[in-house]
Amino acid sequence: MKSRTDELYEMMLERGYPEDFSRLICSEMNTDFTADRMMSYVFGEKHRLEDVADEMLAIIELRDRLVDKHVTEHAQASINELYRDINDDEVSDDEQ
C-alpha cells in the first residue's frame, strides 16, 4: 500500500513538477496530515515552484504549531493532575 507521501510524489510528477523538486517537497511532507494538505494544494492548477515551496513552509509551520499545542495541553493536564493529587492528599490529612 502506498503512503500519502508516495501519492503526493506521483501527483507532483504527473502535474509536471521537476523530479528533484518533488522529492525535496515530499521529504518534508512525510506524514499523512502534511501530505494531504500539500495534495490539496497541488491538486488544482499548477503553481510556480516558489509558491509550492511557500505552501510547504506554511504546512510545516502549521504542523509545528499543532504539535506544540498538543505538548502544551499534555503538560497542562499533567500539572492539573499533580495539583489534584496534592489537594486530595491535603484533604485526607485534614480528615485524620
Whole-prediction pTM: 0.77
Sign of the Cα pseudo-torsion (24, 61, 37, 71, in order): positive
pLDDT score of 3 more than 90: yes
C-alpha cell at 29: 511532507
Helix, coil or strand: residue 59 = helix
What are the residues whose beta carbons fall under 8 Å from the beta carbon of 4, sequence distance 6 or more? Answer: 31, 32, 35, 36, 39
DSSP-derived 3-state class of residue 11: helix
pLDDT (tens digit per residue) in 6-56: 999 999 999 999 999 999 999 999 999 999 999 999 998 899 999 999 999
Q: What is the pLDDT of residue 45?
A: 87
* Helix or strand (DSSP H, E) at 95: helix 49-95
Confidence tier at 1 by pLDDT (50, 70, 90): confident
